[in-house]
Amino acid sequence: MLYRITSFAMPSLGAIGVEMARLPKLFGLLGKYDRCAVLTDIPWLRTAAEMEGALIPGLEIKAFALDAVDDAESWLIA
C-alpha cells in the first residue's frame, strides 16, 4: 500500500466518531497488506506512521519524503 499525505488538519470530534465506526472494516483490511509506504513532508506524521507500524502486528510501515516515490515503491516490492 502506498499512502500519500500532502496536508493534514486535526479532525473534529464528529469526524473522529465517524472514523471510529469504520474501525471494524479497517481492521479487516489490514490482513490484506504486509507493507505500507507513507509519503509525506510532515516530520511528525512520518514518525507517527512508523510508530503505528510497530504497534500493528503483521504490518510494516515505513515513511518517506513526499518526493521519494521511487524509493517507496522499491521498498514495497523488495
Q: Report pLDDT digits (tens) over 1-38.
A: 898 988 877 778 887 888 788 777 777 776 778 899 99
30 or 76, higher pLDDT = 76
Q: Structural domain of residue 19, as residue ranges?
A: 2-77
- In the DSSP assignment, the letter for residue 6 is S
Supply the pLDDT for residue 65.
96
d(CA 71, CA 67): 9
d(CA 70, CA 78): 12
Q: Is the pTM of this model over 0.85?
A: no
> DSSP string covering 18-41, please?
HHHHTHHHHHHHHTT-SEEEEEES
d(CA 13, CA 28): 24
- The total number of structural domains in the chain stands at 1
Count of helix runs (H) and strand runs (E) in the chain:
4, 3
